[in-house]
Amino acid sequence: DHTILKTTATKADVDKLIEEAREHKFASICVNGGRAAQVMEGLKGSGVKTCCVIGFPLGAGTSGAKAAEAAELVQMGVDEIDMVINVGYMLDRDFVAASSRTSRLLTEPNLSRQ
């Protein structure tokens, strides 16, 4: 994977990433959702997948917010979604809370392509 997740990433930064991914035939490019359309367009016909992160960087958002973000990205046509889990729950060793919020996304009906 080739990744650029910094908040200061510009269009030119992402275009450079796309060029490198196409040249080296990376498996995917992982970006914040705001750059998904740019990446999908730039990768057309390359075989390189578009991946977006949800809940980045803290993972502390609600399951509903993560589900909505994921649903929008799926509808846009991204190939992969990486989710940041709630690190606080993991540090608390509250694995039930961490996993229940993760599993909600796996069963979310809006996350299937129509």
Residue-wise pLDDT tens digits, 26-81: 999 999 999 999 999 999 999 999 999 999 988 888 888 888 899 999 999 999 99
Q: What's the mean pLDDT when you consider all of the chain?
A: 90
Higher pLDDT, 32 or 96: 32
Distances (CA, A) of 98 to 40, 85, 101, 103: 31, 7, 6, 9
Quote the pTM value. Answer: 0.85
Q: How many CA atoms lie within 13 A of 27 on its CB side?
A: 3
pLDDT given for residue 96 in this prediction: 87
